[in-house]
Structure 1
Amino acid sequence: MRALLVVNPAATTTSARTRDVLIHALASDLKLEVATTEYRGHARDLARRAAESGAYELVVALGGDGTVNEVVNGLLHNGPAPDELPRLAVVPGGSTNVFARALGLPNHVVEATGALLDALREGSERTVGLGVAGGTPGTEDEAVPARWFTFCAGFGLDAGVVGRVEQQRERGRKSTHALYLRQAVRQFVNEPNRRHGTISLVRPGQDPVEDLVLSIVCNTSPWTYLGNRPVYASPRASFDTALDLLGFTKLSTAAMARYGTQLLTSTPERGPRGKHVVSEHDLTEFTLQSQAPLPFQMDGDHLGLRTSVTFTGVRRALRVIV
């Protein structure tokens, strides 16, 4: 099997020596070509060329969720075609690795490589659904290009946290769960609309849900991890369905403490609940709109401010080795 390994050399949890060991292990079973990313978006470009060339049966992403997202967007540049596109494999090398862990892969790089080789030998794979989001026609954001995401997107407060973390990383801070928690507290304290939100959920043929302070779109469950603790914002979200949404219509200090505790103690059977909670399951198409520009993120990548984003859940978008 001919494969392209896309390596992010800045991946948080891998060293040059570890990468060399992994490359040697994969090359023993695959006709392997290795490409190292050199700039933001390079993984997307490499995966796109691999898909369009027709020369590869497999593209392996070695890196964190950002690298995986770029590879997925490259593979799906011309749209989903699971039977024609190369299959995707992931070797987690980031700080959180939500997509890989949601697939059931080990979070340790070497163990994940062993699991990948076993899956290839056994022919074990699955087809996963993904989300795609872009600007809304008829709005000032309509020119925003569509982009795929693998596990989550956020519009509002949680995207603001991602933006704060990226600013800290640009200043040399290491990406840790403690850093995320500190920035979450700061974002909450400085959030001007936490008592009366500006976000509306608009779905075809239904009345809008208004005044959301925060909106989290999930393509799978868990939503994220704090260390080894999974956090379930939308427990019913799945790679086999469309998209789920969790929103809050009020986030006072007391409400934030209550819902924050519920998130930290969430389980695959039970997520946040209460009179200020909006929970929707298996949405194929919807739009989030805001009266004022708000932060927007996909798969942990801050994408700037938006006033409107349209989401589509696409079932059976891509084949993945598991």
Structure 2
Amino acid sequence: MRALLVINPAATTTSARTRDVLVHALASEMKLEAVTTEYRGHARDLGRRAAESDDIDIVVALGGDGTVNEVVNGLLHHGPDPDHLPRLAVVPGGSTNVFARALGLPNDAVEATGAILDALRDETERTVGLGLAAGTPGTEDEGVPSRWFTFCAGLGFDASVIGRVEQQRERGKRSTHALYMRQVVRQFLDEPHRRQGPITLDRPGEDPVSDLVLSIICNTSPWTYLGNRPVYASPEASFDTALDVVALSKLSTPAVARYATQLLTSTPERGPHGKHAVTLHDLTDFTLHSKVPLPFQMDGDHLGLRTSVTFTGVRRALRVIV
């Protein structure tokens, strides 16, 4: 068995010594090639190389959700083919690690490596669905390349928060949950579309849902974690179905207080709800349009401004070692 290990040296929760231990543990069970990423997009290039290779069986991503996203986009560069593409394994090394934890892996890198090795010995894996986002034909975003995401995407408020966090990290701030919460408050205070949002959701055969100020697309549940607390934006979302959407049509102070409380107390059975909340389950194809350019994010990576994004939920897209 031959494996490619993609290591993000900037992973926030693993030291160089820990990474060396993990490399030796994996190399004891397989023929391992370890490559450290050197630039943005390098993990994607390595994933594509593995997909186009005839002798790589597994790609192991050691890093956070951004590293995993790049590897997945490389593996699926030519489209999903789960029976023939290398399998993916994830060793969490970021600050949140939503994808790995949603798969049921431990949030500790050493423990997760042990779980992956156990799964390889027991020959256990699962095939997961993924989301695909692309520029909408006939709009100014038509030429935007399509991109896969593993657990979430967002247009509007949440993407604005992620953009603020990335700006703070570029200034040397550590990526912590407290940093995210501060940026949520600041974005709310600066949000220009609190009472009437510019977003419209279109789906085949259904009436449009308009005036949305916040839209989150989920491919699994939980949506994220605050420390060890799971947050369920779309409790029904699953790797075994297509995509779920939770959207809000109002961000007044009372509405934000209500929905923030619902998120913080959410459970696998109940997420945000109320007259200003829109929840849709298992959508295969839909489009989000905005009257003005809005920030867009995928898997916690800010991707700039968009006015229209078309989403596709693809079931059984990739095999994962769990």
TM-score band, normalised by shorter chain: over 0.9
Amino acid of the structure 1 residue aligned with 2:310? T
**1:9 positional shift:** 0.3
Aligned to 1:218: 218
Per-residue CA deviations over 1:246-289 (Å, capped at 9, x if unaligned) read: 00011100100000000000000000110000000000000000
Flag structure 1 segments of 5+ consecutive residues without an equivalent: none
Per-residue CA deviations over 1:131-156 (Å, capped at 9, x if unaligned) read: 00010000000000000000000000
Q: Secondary structure at the match of 1:241?
A: coil
- Equivalents in 2 of 1:35, 1:181: separation in Å? 34
Aligned to 1:60: 60
Aligned to 1:78: 78
Per-residue CA deviations over 1:224-262 (Å, capped at 9, x if unaligned) read: 000000000000000000000000011100100000000
Amino acid of the structure 2 residue aligned with 1:41? G
Aligned to 2:13: 13
Q: TM-score, normalised by structure 1?
A: 1.00
Amino acid of the structure 1 residue aligned with 2:21? V
- Equivalents in 2 of 1:169, 1:100: separation in Å? 23
Aligned to 2:300: 300
Stretches (4+) displaced over 2 A? none
Q: Secondary structure at the match of 1:104?
A: coil
Aligned to 1:272: 272
RMSD: 0.4
**1:89 positional shift:** 0.1
Per-residue CA deviations over 1:70-90 (Å, capped at 9, x if unaligned) read: 000000000000000000000
Amino acid of the structure 2 residue aligned with 1:4? L
Amino acid of the structure 1 residue aligned with 2:34? V
Q: Secondary structure at the match of 1:53?
A: coil
Per-residue CA deviations over 1:60-102 (Å, capped at 9, x if unaligned) read: 0000000000000000000000000000000000000000000
Aligned to 2:109: 109
**1:306 positional shift:** 0.3
Indicate whether 1:247 and 2:236 are aligned: no
**1:108 positional shift:** 0.4
**1:54 positional shift:** 1.8
- Equivalents in 2 of 1:182, 1:211: separation in Å? 26
- Equivalents in 1 of 2:180, 2:54: separation in Å? 40
Amino acid of the structure 2 residue aligned with 1:298? M
**1:53 positional shift:** 1.4
- Equivalents in 2 of 1:196, 1:5: separation in Å? 47
Per-residue CA deviations over 1:5-44 (Å, capped at 9, x if unaligned) read: 0000000000100000000000000100001000000000
**1:165 positional shift:** 0.3
Indicate whether 1:4 and 2:4 are aligned: yes
Q: TM-score, normalised by structure 2?
A: 1.00
- Equivalents in 2 of 1:234, 1:288: separation in Å? 18
Residue identity (%): 81
